[in-house]
Structure 1
Amino acid sequence: MYTNTQEAIQVNKIAIVGAGLGGLACAIALRKLGYDVQVYEKAKDFRPVGGGFGLLPNGLKCLDAIEPGIVSLIKNSGCEVSQSVLKNNQGETIRTNKTARYQDKYGLPLITVWWWHLQQVLVSKVPENNIHLNHRCIGFTQDDNGVDIYFDDDKKVRADLLIGADGINSAVRETLFKDGKARYLGSMSWRAVIKCDQQLLNPGELGVVRSSREFMFLLNLGNGYFSWLYRQLLPNFFLSPNLDVAKSEVLSKIAHWGKPLQQLVEMTPSERILEAPIYDRPPLDTWSNGRVTLLGDAAHPMAPALAQGTNTTFEDVCELAWCFAQYKNISEAFNNYERRRIDRTRIIQNRSAEAEMDNYKTQEEKSPSLVLQQLQMSNEEFQDWILSYQPPTI
């Protein structure tokens, strides 16, 4: 048991569990403060996994604070979005909207990128010897002098501090708080990234296909890569026995859609399809105990409707690094990290859950947002509150 939370942060080694985007970004930031940071990842190698997603100005500002110049690398690895396109389920354009307002208002654009490509950019900034693959965390114990982290195959590592960046099913979070399984939101997802010559979007466009109780995002990811993300309202779900069945399931669901959209799924190899229910967890009142804290999806998993899961993770990294630089003991650093993060992420978590369900409703069916009513904000004011976030100087 850890009892001495008031001791000075005389920390040599920090262990991060999870080499996803948050864990790697955190390693980059904390290494710059002089810490020996070691990252432990359950995967055996860095395979081309994950889907396409959007990096918004608040996340990009944080990445630039963590690693100046990295936004240029990300632009080269992704797609700077100039226009969003709303389509019907036949693939016909209903309307377009310019997205230059992001650059004009916040100084940075919307960039769509493949998760794996961004992971590779971040991996390149961390020394190879500081990343340890094939380490699946199963728990930890701590005392006044450090933390013992346990992995499969009887592996054990000792560190001065532990940061859980191991996602929505975090072993670090479960050991800390024992809050069980994540919460299914009634929304099912199928997604893929492929390299293809498609005719649905022009370069620089992001597409949204709206239909009844279902929708699909279409993302240019740069360098010829393209992502489709199909979601359907499903109060109950089951996972397909294999990916060939998952592909057939999607094709059966969109059999009434236009041929160009069906062809996009047809040309996707089954092994590229990711089938997953949409989960979140209720917000926590604390993320830390003793020498251990959380960030990203391990701390505040949220529905993807507002595209803020990864972007707020990069906010966490900036705030945690700033607190390590400013405060002289573990308790002060973690308490201030939580003070600066929990209220904001709770609001975004709750609004994301609302927005996920709103995706399946017509304008007439939508109810006023309880979150926005409590904040006394319009939707536009809320978006501005999110995107105008300014990271502290690390």
Structure 2
Amino acid sequence: MNEEKVIIVGAGVAGLSLAIMLAQRNIESVVLESREHFDGPTSGVRISGEGVEILGFMNLEPIGAKTEKVNMRFGSISANFSVHKSNSSAIIVTRQALHEQLMQRALSLGVRMVTNFRVSDVQESADGVQVTSTANDTLRGNLLIGADGVGSTIRQILNSEQESTKMYAGYLGVGIIAADEEMTEMTLHRYPGHEVGVASCGRVNKAAKKNSVFLWTHIQMPEDEARRAGKSSVEAELAARAEQWRPELKTKYNLYVHDAESILAFGPVYNGKPPTRWHSNRIILIGDAAHPYGPGGQGISMALKDARALCEIVEGGFSEKDRNEFQRMRAREARAAGEAAERRNAKAPLLSWWGILAEGTVMKALQIMAPKTLKF
């Protein structure tokens, strides 16, 4: 049986970032991950300026593509807004590029990784915490951090009285990535029955020689259909939708169609209801395990902020007062962004061009008469 200072369950953004920050302060940790490999199709994500600052604090190399605007297209009507930024610009980056950087940095600092470790049981006592895998491997530590995502096992253990909080969001999330050296600011396109986003995202991974563009959309469907969805059916739906897209967007889509090395990623999207309990004496949740909101809720940025805040608490002694304050402050910020995103995602797309043009007219008037800087 191995004894560790801090056990982190989950090698995602929250878990790896926390491990890195702890290592930078000479606090040892081990990261347990249920997956054995980290391959498969990737997609793009947006990281806020504050999140980018945290990446810099961890001494990660620059990745992704900067984004300082949000452009909106409603047929022939355009509305463009600047994005509020801190000391750093927000970026669009692929999950693979981000994970590569985090993993490389963690390993360079001597963080121990244990893959194929599926948590089956956690026992907490006055002396520490013990975690056991489905293969009956066991580790002991002083603290246990649940950074294991939307379907968190640690969250379920901490909140055993609650039913599963993982819920289908009602749609299939779809992302495509293709090589493209042209810089594209984040642009949101409205069409009858659906919306499409597009933005430059930098290089897909460290080995890539070219920059790329990321295009994303949602396809509304029942959960069982989303689980059965295959590449051919998703591509057929995208091709049908592309028939009505304006040249600006269709050109980007055609990059995917004609690029044999382009990437298509898709899967059912799940939200979750945040748990009542984030922590006990020796266990605490961060990232999507603590606030499992859907796309657009700044999940990556929130995970980075969680890791920074929790690192301070671990270094400071992990007091009950600090744990309570961590939950109060981090839940408030995550809820504000997450619930707003879920309202946007749940809103039915406009079904007619008349409705889209009317919305575009309002947004254009807002841009002209009351210019705003969006904060998200």
What TM-score results when the alignment is normalised by the length of structure 2? 0.80
Aligned counterpart, 1:95: 78
Map residues 45-64 of structure 1 onto 2, 5 A cutoff. 45-47=37-39, 49-64=41-56
Query: Secondary structure at 2:225's aligned position in 1?
Result: coil
**Is residue 189–residue 231 contact of structure 1 (8 Å, CA) maintained in 2?**
yes
**Residue among 152, 160, 168 paired with 2:142:** 160
Separation in structure 1 between the aligned mates of residue 196 and residue 259 of structure 2, nearest angstrom:
15
Aligned counterpart, 1:248: 236
Question: 1:269, CA displacement in angstroms?
Answer: 6.0
Structure 2 spans left out of the alignment, 5+ residues: 203-209, 360-371
Shift in alpha-carbon separation, 1:64–1:270, aligned structure 2, 3 A:
closer
Worse overlay, 338-347 or 264-273: 264-273
Separation in structure 2 between the aligned mates of residue 146 and residue 243 of structure 1, nearest angstrom:
47
Q: Which amino acid aligns with 2:66?
A: E
Question: 1:276, CA displacement in angstroms?
Answer: 2.1
Structure 1 spans left out of the alignment, 5+ residues: 1-10, 366-379, 388-394
Q: How many residues align?
A: 345
**Is residue 198–residue 215 contact of structure 2 (8 Å, CA) maintained in 1?**
yes
Separation in structure 1 between the aligned mates of residue 118 and residue 167 of structure 2, nearest angstrom:
23
**Is residue 6–residue 145 contact of structure 2 (8 Å, CA) maintained in 1?**
yes
Separation in structure 2 between the aligned mates of residue 44 and residue 302 of structure 1, nearest angstrom:
26
Shift in alpha-carbon separation, 1:238–1:14, aligned structure 2, 3 A:
same
Shift in alpha-carbon separation, 1:138–1:252, aligned structure 2, 3 A:
farther
**Residue among 180, 193, 211 paired with 2:191:** 211
Separation in structure 2 between the aligned mates of residue 252 and residue 121 of structure 1, nearest angstrom:
37
**Is residue 43–residue 94 contact of structure 2 (8 Å, CA) maintained in 1?**
yes
Q: Which amino acid aligns with 1:108?
A: S
Separation in structure 1 between the aligned mates of residue 349 and residue 304 of structure 2, nearest angstrom:
29
**Is residue 293–residue 338 contact of structure 2 (8 Å, CA) maintained in 1?**
yes
Shift in alpha-carbon separation, 1:269–1:137, aligned structure 2, 3 A:
farther
Query: Secondary structure at 1:124's aligned position in 2?
Result: helix
- 1:352 paired with 2:352, answer no
- 1:124 paired with 2:113, answer no
**Is residue 28–residue 111 contact of structure 2 (8 Å, CA) maintained in 1?**
no
Shift in alpha-carbon separation, 1:241–1:341, aligned structure 2, 3 A:
closer
**Residue among 286, 311, 323 paired with 2:313:** 323
Separation in structure 2 between the aligned mates of residue 164 and residue 205 of structure 1, nearest angstrom:
35
Question: 1:58, CA displacement in angstroms?
Answer: 2.6
- 1:304 paired with 2:284, answer no
Q: Which amino acid aligns with 2:26?
A: G
Question: 1:43, CA displacement in angstroms?
Answer: 2.2
Q: Which amino acid aligns with 2:286?
A: L
Separation in structure 2 between the aligned mates of residue 264 and residue 150 of structure 1, nearest angstrom:
47
Question: 1:109, CA displacement in angstroms?
Answer: 0.9
**Is residue 62–residue 314 contact of structure 1 (8 Å, CA) maintained in 2?**
yes
Separation in structure 2 between the aligned mates of residue 292 and residue 338 of structure 1, nearest angstrom:
12
Separation in structure 2 between the aligned mates of residue 130 and residue 49 of structure 1, nearest angstrom:
26
Q: Which amino acid aligns with 2:125?
A: D
**Is residue 71–residue 188 contact of structure 2 (8 Å, CA) maintained in 1?**
yes
Aligned counterpart, 1:275: 266
What TM-score results when the alignment is normalised by the length of structure 1? 0.76
**Is residue 218–residue 229 contact of structure 1 (8 Å, CA) maintained in 2?**
yes
Q: Which amino acid aligns with 1:221?
A: C
**Is residue 16–residue 40 contact of structure 1 (8 Å, CA) maintained in 2?**
yes
Q: Which amino acid aligns with 1:290?
A: N
- 1:134 paired with 2:126, answer no
Question: 1:153, CA displacement in angstroms?
Answer: 2.6
CA deviation profile, 1:227-251 (whole Å, cap 9, x unmatched): 2112134466612353333333433
Aligned counterpart, 1:26: 18
- 1:107 paired with 2:83, answer no
Q: CA RMSD in A?
A: 3.2
